[in-house]
Amino acid sequence: MRIVVTGGAGFIGTALLRALAATSREVVVLDSLRPDVHRDGGLAASARLSSLGVRLVVADVRDRSAVLAQVEGADAVVHLAAKVGLGVDLDDMDDYVSSNSLGTATVLRACHTAGVERVVQASSMVVYGEGAYECAQHGPVAPAPRTRDRLARGEFDPGCPVCGADLDPALVDEDAVLDPRNTYAATKVAQEQLGAVWARETGGSCTSLRLHNVYGPGMPRDTPYAGVAAIFWSAARRGTAPQVFEDGGQRRDFVHVDDVAAAFVAALQSPEPGHAAYNVGSGVVHTIGELAAELSSLAGGPPPEVTGAYRLGDVRHITASSERAAHGLGWRGAVALRDGLRDLAFS
């Protein structure tokens, strides 16, 4: 079986390649080694891939001829390549749309031309916007986006859109209405929709894995596009206090990168006709503040500083129900957060 992995030189891609190395699959990686991810020009990534016996093709997923040359003869494509993170400001908007939406369309078109019938792609929890909430009086509700004025007053939790009362956060499942609240999120929704169109028109199988907060060895660090665990860990290792936004009470689901790699392998082994989406999370709720405190403790550094700062595009609570993946893919997260953070600390 020949598999092409776009963006395979990155954080999640490297973990996936380790998992695939235990199989008899032939793997080719197509990666642009973009400098906002690979600060060394891709030297370390190239060495890792070489040690795994994986061929690296340096090309951009928006280059149709380069993509088509690699997917010809492939049995499946895993599409990881993307510009990730919330971003810096709206000056990133066109890069996100080009890299993620156009990049996905180019990959899917090449798959159609080459006759590839199996695609697994990395989506994200950000497609949901705010997570699932319940009002004691009105039941399940979708809170409105948080306003700058409300955030500036330190009112971080969204209220009921009907009565304004406090809400109880709940686990979000795949049937929730998609509600992207920043540019990256909008491109991930578009990616899923493009995958659904491709699957419907070709009769192929496209699986979108909605990854929750992924962490683990090899996380990209010291970049504005890094995830929160990487940002906190970089600060802790420097001996500085991690800067926690809002009040630290934001609820998240942190899932280890090895568990994520296992989810991709499971999806490759469980093709379904049409398009299917699955949450990929640990199933355990933690707060941002808890994560920062644990990383500070592991690094032996100062405790986190809760700043009250905020970003308008952030959401308050987003935690996953991954039961559909358990039943549909036979996958569950296995790495507990504390064990996974120790893994990170000693990597």
> At what angle are helices 64-71 and 103-114 packed, to 10 degrees?
40
Q: CB 35: neighbour CB atoms within 10 A?
A: 11
Compute CA 203 distance to the chain's CA centroid, rounded to the nearest angstrom: 26
Three-class SS string for the chain?
CEEEEECCCCHHHHHHHHHHHCCCCEEEEEECCCCCCCCCCCHHHHHHHHHCCCEEEECCCCCHHHHHHHHCCCCEEEECCCCCCCCCCHHHHHHHHHHHHHHHHHHHHHHHHHCCCEEEEEEEHHHHCCCEEEECCCEEECCCCCCHHHHHCCCCCCECCCCCCECEEECECCCCCCCCCCHHHHHHHHHHHHHHHHHHHHCCEEEEEEECEEECCCCCCCCCCCCHHHHHHHHHHCCCCCEECCCCCCEECEEEHHHHHHHHHHHHCCCCCEEEEEEECCCCCEEHHHHHHHHHHHHCCCCCEECCCCCCCCCCEECECCHHHHHHCCCCCCCCHHHHHHHHHCC
For residue 151, what is the DSSP state? Answer: H
Active-site residues: which are they? 184
* Structure-token match 């503040």, residue found: 289
Helix (H) or strand (E) holding 222: none
For residue 126, what is the DSSP state? Answer: G
